[in-house]
Structure 1
Amino acid sequence: MATVLVIGAGGVSSVCVHKMAFNSEIFTDIHLASRTKSKCDAIAASVKTRCGQEVATYEIDAEEVPAMVNLIRKIQPSLVVNLALPYQDLPIMDACLEAGVSYLDTANYEPKDEAKFEYHWQWAYHDRFKEAGLMALLGSGFDPGVTSVFTMWLKKHKLKTIRQLDILDCNGGDHGQAFATNFNPEINIREVTAPARHWENGAFVETPALSKKVEFDFEAVGPKNMYMMYHEELESLSKFIPELERGRFWMTFGDEYIKHLTVLQNVGMTGIEPIKYQGKEIIPLQFLAAVLPKPETLGETTTGNTNIGVIATGEALDGSGEKTFYINNICSHEAAYEETGNQGVSYTTGVPAMIGSAMMLQGTWAGNGVFNMEQMDPDPFMEMLNEHGLSWNVVEMDAPVGF
């Protein structure tokens, strides 16, 4: 029997909690907390209807460490699953250490005042978690998360070394809105407007945001423009694959998205510095996020597929020379909504959060300290992906990518 406390009540949390409830033999007692209890109550009601399992709900400010500690001690979970905002990672980790419970998240820490996703803040917690006999698993979403597991599966089963790696994230869904983001608007826009960085010859190379674009033909989606940008798994992959010569991350955006984002950026609405408005301080991006459609409301109208995967080139395990493999998942927005009431982008992050939690609770993945997905055996995670709605496929390509 395992008790779990989930923090956050957005679309990813909704998917994760639904999937936990569908696997009640692992997650026997589910608790859900966020700053807005009504959102937790709505998820709990849906879970009760769809899965028949009760979910206890609470109001909590995840940045208030003493309050978090009190809640954890009240519930006494085996694991805290952080599906809140990246700004809240460190306070939640502090609370877990003080309360003596293990930790999992899907996105690495980011300061509020700077769009800078990096792991070093959380890696600095390793010794404290190790000494406490606790485990912290970082980035158990899709990217980061599944893409890292995909990569390490290829290295375990197909490639002795990985020389080049490209992560391709395509959302081919149509939500019917003029402009909306498929996950938290504030985080999405901060990521997209930040300078791009990719790994090359032992260092990160920075280029202007959205300055490199190529077209790629995605299965079940079709040809899409994808843009090179920075994503946090490049930091961990370059650390745990020392022979990596080049690592890049690509994400697709439609022309309408780019047009709207450009206008919003030009008029200052994507800024993260406080401004004075009617005697009060506001942050433009937070105001923009407040008026945009909530990602968790897009499920009913979103159609189409996501296609996310990695292309890796390196020395083949069988000694047959250099080879290139493409491993990916295709997820239907409609199927995700039918099962959990959420669109596919939330689904592709929420399911891996559930699987990572199951890995920890069952002791399949274990250790004392702070760990990334690349440090774990990919095989049991890959098996659960196939079993819980995110089946994957791997093919050998004729040649390395030419972009």
Structure 2
Amino acid sequence: MAKVIIIGAGGVGSVVAHKCAQLPDVFNEIVLASRTESKCKAIAADLPRPVKTAQIDADDVAATTALLKAEQPDLVINVALPYQDLAIMDACLAAGVDYLDTANYEPPEEAKFEYKWQWAYQDKFTSAGRMALLGSGFDPGVTNVYTAYLKKHYLDEIHYLDIIDCNDGDHGQPFATNFNPEINIREVTANGRYWSNGDWQETGPLEENRSFDFPAGIGPKQIYLMYHEELESITKHLPEIKRARFWMTFSDNYLKHLEVLGNIGMTSIEPVEFEGKEIIPLQFLKALLPDPASLGPLTKGKTCIGCIARGVKDGVEKTYYIYNICDHEECYAEVKSQAISYTTGVPAMIGAKMMLERKWAGAGVWNMEQLDPDPFMEDLNKYGLPWQVVELNEQTGMED
């Protein structure tokens, strides 16, 4: 029996709350906290059992520490903004509480996706005897565990890794993002980067692309090379990897809107003066776009996220594809969220479950691929994200 505080009441926070509430034997008590408590109360009203709500500014370390000391949870599940990771980690250390998040820290003033800020907390969490689990979403998160699972059961060494994320959903809106618009657009407009032979190679934003034929009737889609944070941790912890890349699908409509918005400066994070006040164009754009949580009842179609790993087993070269198919409408029917929030929220709940059940335990700061993949993979099948592994014997278009 354990108590958790979930910080964040967006689409992912809602999924995490729903999935935790479904497992009262693991998550005995739940507190849902956010800057806007009314959002927490709206989520709580839809849950199958009572949960407590609280108002908290996660940037305020002292206030967050006070909340944690008052509530005394076993674990904080951080699904707030990535800018707030370090403040919440500081509060967890001050209050003596374990920590979990779904995305690495980003400095607000720069689109920089690195683990260095959080890895720097290694000694602090080790000395405190507390555990911090980083990136327990889908990508990062499940993709890290997929990689570890293939390494444990299918390949002696992984030499080439491609993480491929497809959203084939349609929400019918002229332009919208499936998760926080500010984070999404910062990510998409950043330079691409991939690991190759011991060093990082850089490309222009969405410069490299190709077609990939997805399973489950999704079919061929154009995929674009991006940088994603799991590449940094996976290549650190699996040093035999010669090349690792991350790819994502985007519709032509999305890319055209993004191009126009970029051309007129609306995707910039540099402050501009407007009527005597400084504003960030991207934050203003976020206020104009549909709330991702509102897309749930509108979105139809599927997602497919997985890893293609090529390496050797008993001296023979092998290639495996491990992936999940998720249906937007089925997700909404279960937890009133579309599949993008669902595929992030379910792994956050499972990561928390692993920690609370002590299947994943240890002081310090951990990435997902460092831990035993088997119990996590078992729970993915139990709690809504079933996966499959297929051996690929033909060319996939990812070999170069």
**TM-score tier (shorter):** over 0.9
Aligned equivalents of 1:107, 1:296: Cα separation in 2 = 18
1:235 alignment partner in structure 2: 232
Aligned equivalents of 2:57, 2:211: Cα separation in 1 = 42
2:119 alignment partner in structure 1: 123
2:266 alignment partner in structure 1: 269
Give secondary structure in 1 for the equivalent of 2:266: coil
2:130 alignment partner in structure 1: 134
Task: Find the partner of 2:148 among 152, 164, 168.
Answer: 152
Deviations 1:321-374 (A, max 9, x none): 000000000000011000000000000000000000000001000000000001
Aligned equivalents of 1:223, 1:287: Cα separation in 2 = 35
Q: How far off its partner does 1:55 sit? A: 1.2
Name the TM-score, length of structure 2 as normaliser: 0.98
Q: How far off its partner does 1:223 sit? A: 1.5
Aligned equivalents of 2:185, 2:144: Cα separation in 1 = 23
Deviations 1:290-333 (A, max 9, x none): 110011110001000000000000011xx150000000000000
Task: Find the partner of 1:324 among 311, 319, 324.
Answer: 319
Partner AA of 2:12 in structure 1: V
Aligned equivalents of 1:291, 1:40: Cα separation in 2 = 22
Q: Report if the CA contact (8 A) 1:324-1:399 is conserved.
A: no
2:11 alignment partner in structure 1: 11
Give secondary structure in 2 for the equivalent of 1:88: helix
Q: Report if the CA contact (8 A) 2:212-2:396 is conserved.
A: no
Q: How far off its partner does 1:402 sit? A: 3.0
The answer to whether 1:167 aligns with 2:167 is no
Deviations 1:108-167 (A, max 9, x none): 000000001110100000000000000000000000000000000000000000000000
What runs of 5+ residues in structure 1 fail to find an aligned partner?
none
Aligned equivalents of 1:156, 1:188: Cα separation in 2 = 32
Name the TM-score, length of structure 1 as normaliser: 0.98
1:388 alignment partner in structure 2: 383
Give secondary structure in 1 for the equivalent of 2:157: coil
After TM superposition, where is structure 1 displaced by more than 2 Å over at least 4 residues in a row? 399-403
Give secondary structure in 2 for the equivalent of 1:113: coil
Partner AA of 2:345 in structure 1: G
Q: Report if the CA contact (8 A) 1:7-1:33 is conserved.
A: yes
Partner AA of 2:74 in structure 1: S
Q: Report if the CA contact (8 A) 2:191-2:227 is conserved.
A: yes
Aligned equivalents of 1:320, 1:303: Cα separation in 2 = 44
Task: Find the partner of 1:194 among 190, 194, 197.
Answer: 190
1:355 alignment partner in structure 2: 350
Percent of aligned positions that are identical: 63
Give secondary structure in 2 for the equivalent of 1:162: strand
Give secondary structure in 1 for the equivalent of 2:106: coil
The answer to whether 1:374 aligns with 2:369 is yes
1:294 alignment partner in structure 2: 291
Aligned equivalents of 2:229, 2:262: Cα separation in 1 = 23
Task: Find the partner of 1:216 among 203, 209, 212.
Answer: 212
Q: How many residues align?
A: 397
Q: How far off its partner does 1:219 sit? A: 1.5
1:35 alignment partner in structure 2: 35
> In angstroms, what is the RMSD of aligned CA positions?
0.7
Q: How far off its partner does 1:43 sit? A: 0.6
Q: Report if the CA contact (8 A) 1:313-1:400 is conserved.
A: no
Q: Report if the CA contact (8 A) 1:103-1:135 is conserved.
A: yes
